Structure 1
């Protein structure tokens, strides 16, 4: 059995040298062979690069020098005997010797200027790699070494299979335990009694996540197993070493990237901490100034939330601009392209948003309207119940809630019924037209009596009546009164009650209201006598409406 294994090892080595030494058609024409590197022609033995020929020597190109070195080295190894590597000086460079035979010469033209090495260092490294190749050829001929390598590879394979099985069991255990805990946490994560994450959607996401982690670990284990097994045998050892070097290079790049980003992240973290401290400090300062005795005209308690948000936003925008250069990847082209794209999207699509927000700031700091005031904006009137950055919400007397864009408010005339009163409350006004045959003093007294009979209208300040016009057929009388601010009744309801009381009072005194317009009076005044105020089917409501009489 042993002679057969030795014969197989010898055949394998001979085939390796024959394949490495066989020139390609390009090499026979004096050009680089298929193994020609971008900056030279390598001398490859047992999948290892012993040396790279870069320059000509006595007119011989690098490809020919590499081919001759392969042939000489193959012949010397096959002869056996004393295979000691030595480096000898030569007028043309450094001779690399193997068992007294010159294999190749290292010339100054073979030194790569980018590596900043001299000819002594290059020849020394070539000798070390040649010694490693000689050692691996001996190992390839050793039956004991091959059997040992096979045993180690078999043990590594068994461990690899056991780890794969363990990963499968671990995944099943994690799925059982992790899913239960995740479902429990998801059930407790709710807002207003509504669960934020549905369990039916949570399971597929977690399963995909666990599967991704599992296959990542399996891939790394497989990679390391292949690298380890290849490294056990002389012929495939360079491949395994390259796999290891690649993985270590990736890990080193990741670690160095993380370590290199730590100082920048530290500076950014300090900037954000200072921004948070500044925001809290300025917020407390503004609040004290707004509540102070002297105060500032534009900084009132009702404008404090908006001012605090504006100042906080400004501080954080400044902090982001300062911390941006220190963030990882901020200097990359991808990050810059994303910044340009976001800026373009904001500039093109946010013009209306900026206009609405600017109008909201104007309303806030000019204090044109405030929450709780009764206003009329264009054709809409009601109580202001909320002022936002983009829209203002008012509630009408009919129970409707209107959302009006801030830009519409700043671009139209706004009537504020809450500002023209002494103290709190709002103005209630209405207009009637009465003929010239009725004394104006009687009309004013009847309007004031109707106002006093209306619940929700204050007696102090007293209601007033103004004659606003003397038309062709009648004067116009306008009643002004102030409503009770704490009365939980809408302005429309108070106006409805006031209009009903005006009709009752004028009917009681037999005075005709000349609205809508007409120009011819009949023989009888158009009034409703008190005994006819409750005809069917409203007779049943008489007790409820008795206050109007």
Structure 2
């Protein structure tokens, strides 16, 4: 019987080699590989066929092998599984009958040799033979059912014990929490609010409880399935999957330790360099070191330097983060970069404008400025916006890009010493001597409390219009907030009206349609009307 099987197998292989050589000469080099087929017997995978044999596709080989194995398993005799080599292939025998061939074309990516693949397939077939015998044994099935019943009782008792332990644990935690919450106080105020802490503890205990329930259910199911021959592959797969998952997680954690160590080292190095650069910039900001590095520009310079250091550190540590090489991590990085590039254009513009204002020192906190139609005292010069407080008590937040694109008048930058510039404009007719107008404006400035006499106020004739000249009073006021400045201007305007009323000069400027009968001019003897004074003779 064995010799005849050998001769038949040798003939089959020789014919297969001839057919394969002839097919290789005539087939196209780009022809598609045959489909694979899996041989499963009694719910257990035996072998995966990947190549043709004597013109038979893997599907036909699976059908023939399954029919031969099922026919052999139907008998009640002892079945032995052996492996014999035939040239470069191996034949798996079941009770001196051919079950299937394992050829070099059947090797998978995890198989190292044909002999190893054949031995593994034979071992699986031996297990199928044992399980088929166990499935026919009434005694074995009764023992398996008894074991499954005992496991089920233990499983139910374990679930009840877990439920009881959860209740006991919550009660103990509540007592401990209440006892320590009473002791942790500052004065009469407790540091821990038990009303918010108890729901959190209850949720954590419930989460732990359900994790243990799922693990117990998983182990119970795998144990029960492994007791019976037909469902044993499912139970083994459940056990192997759990072990593979635990091994994968532990391996990933262990493999991530060197990368995390490098990340921590880069973190501490970047932190040290950032602290050193901060101290260095503070020393360089002293007067006489670097002209552009002052106390005003020190803070933004420190922030920019620290930002550059940390960005470089993140770029260096990126390859060492766990999972940085995965497609999900790369996709998330691309998504974040796209979101930043699309939504941060205006933010970057505002930040650049803030840096321009800071390093050019266009505005400083405490200065009185006029930006477009807005006037007030600068309170904060930020990275993105600048805040000013108006004379009416309004707080205005102006984007920095608006400030860099508008004309800014600074009333505090050109004064002598501390303070700010205050000015006002009046228009008086040509029939009033200009010397008298200047003297009245200076008198009104002298009467206004808060206007400094040193440096002296000045009156400028800014225009000679058709109906009147324009007079502008410019003075320096003491440093104060925006609200006193508004009050100062109100007091100055009131004093101007009083002085002009005292000397009988109207502030309303003339507008007419024709020339008057008498020329509108000032005789020389009226040039120095009070309160104007004659010029002193030079000594």
Is the TM-score greater than 0.5? yes
Q: How many residues align?
A: 468
Residue 234 of structure 2: which of 228, 236, 239 is its match? 239
Decide whether aligned partners of structure 1 residues 114 and 169 sit closer, same or farther in structure 2, where only a CA change above 3 A counts: same
- The aligned residue for residue 521 of structure 2 is none
CA offsets, 1:10-45, max 9 Å, x none? xxxxxxxxxxxxxxxxxxxxxxxxxxx96345252x
| Aligned residues: CA RMSD | 3.9
Q: 1:456, 1:487 within 8 Å by CA — same for their partners in 2?
A: no
Note if 1:158 corresponds to 2:114. no
Residue 375 of structure 2: which of 377, 381, 391 is its match? 381
Segments of structure 2 that go 5 or more residues without pairing to the other structure are: 1-33, 518-539
Decide whether aligned partners of structure 1 residues 465 and 71 sit closer, same or farther in structure 2, where only a CA change above 3 A counts: closer
Residue 352 of structure 1: which of 337, 346, 356 is its match? 346
Residue 129 of structure 1: which of 124, 130, 134 is its match? 124
Q: 2:379, 2:389 within 8 Å by CA — same for their partners in 1?
A: yes
Q: 1:370, 1:384 within 8 Å by CA — same for their partners in 2?
A: yes
CA distance in 2, matches of 1:483, 1:236: 97
CA offsets, 1:354-392, max 9 Å, x none? 222222211111111111000111121110111122221
Note if 1:252 corresponds to 2:247. yes
Note if 1:331 corresponds to 2:341. no
Deviates more, 1:489-498 or 1:367-376: 489-498
- The aligned residue for residue 36 of structure 2 is 39
Residue 498 of structure 1: which of 492, 496, 505 is its match? 492
Query: How does the TM-score come out when normalised to structure 1?
Result: 0.73
Note if 1:514 corresponds to 2:477. no
Q: How does 1:455-494 map to 2 (within 5 A)?
A: 455-472=449-466, 474-485=468-479, 490-494=484-488
Measured after TM superposition, the shift of residue 498 of structure 1 is: 1.6
CA distance in 2, matches of 1:486, 1:366: 25
Q: 1:41, 1:66 within 8 Å by CA — same for their partners in 2?
A: no
- The aligned residue for residue 218 of structure 1 is 213
Q: 2:377, 2:481 within 8 Å by CA — same for their partners in 1?
A: no
CA offsets, 1:60-104, max 9 Å, x none? 75235413531453255x134xx5555556668656556x64453
Note if 1:394 corresponds to 2:380. no
- The aligned residue for residue 426 of structure 1 is 420
Decide whether aligned partners of structure 1 residues 516 and 402 sit closer, same or farther in structure 2, where only a CA change above 3 A counts: farther
Segments of structure 1 that go 5 or more residues without pairing to the other structure are: 1-36, 522-549
Q: 2:73, 2:132 within 8 Å by CA — same for their partners in 1?
A: no
CA offsets, 1:196-243, max 9 Å, x none? x9978x988887776555444433322221101111233322221011
* Secondary structure of residue in 2 paired with 1:363: helix
CA distance in 2, matches of 1:110, 1:439: 118
* Secondary structure of residue in 2 paired with 1:79: coil
Decide whether aligned partners of structure 1 residues 179 and 415 sit closer, same or farther in structure 2, where only a CA change above 3 A counts: farther
Decide whether aligned partners of structure 1 residues 288 and 149 sit closer, same or farther in structure 2, where only a CA change above 3 A counts: same
Residue 256 of structure 2: which of 254, 261, 273 is its match? 261
- The aligned residue for residue 306 of structure 1 is 300
Deviates more, 1:350-359 or 1:264-273: 264-273
Measured after TM superposition, the shift of residue 289 of structure 1 is: 0.9
Decide whether aligned partners of structure 1 residues 50 and 439 sit closer, same or farther in structure 2, where only a CA change above 3 A counts: closer
CA offsets, 1:392-416, max 9 Å, x none? 1111111111122222211121111
- The aligned residue for residue 62 of structure 1 is 61
- The aligned residue for residue 536 of structure 2 is none
Q: 1:55, 1:62 within 8 Å by CA — same for their partners in 2?
A: no
CA distance in 1, matches of 2:389, 2:38: 87
CA distance in 2, matches of 1:68, 1:346: 64
Measured after TM superposition, the shift of residue 179 of structure 1 is: 8.5
Decide whether aligned partners of structure 1 residues 238 and 506 sit closer, same or farther in structure 2, where only a CA change above 3 A counts: same
Note if 1:48 corresponds to 2:47. no
Query: How does the TM-score come out when normalised to structure 2?
Result: 0.74
CA distance in 2, matches of 1:57, 1:450: 118
CA offsets, 1:299-325, max 9 Å, x none? 211122222222222222233333333
- The aligned residue for residue 286 of structure 1 is 281
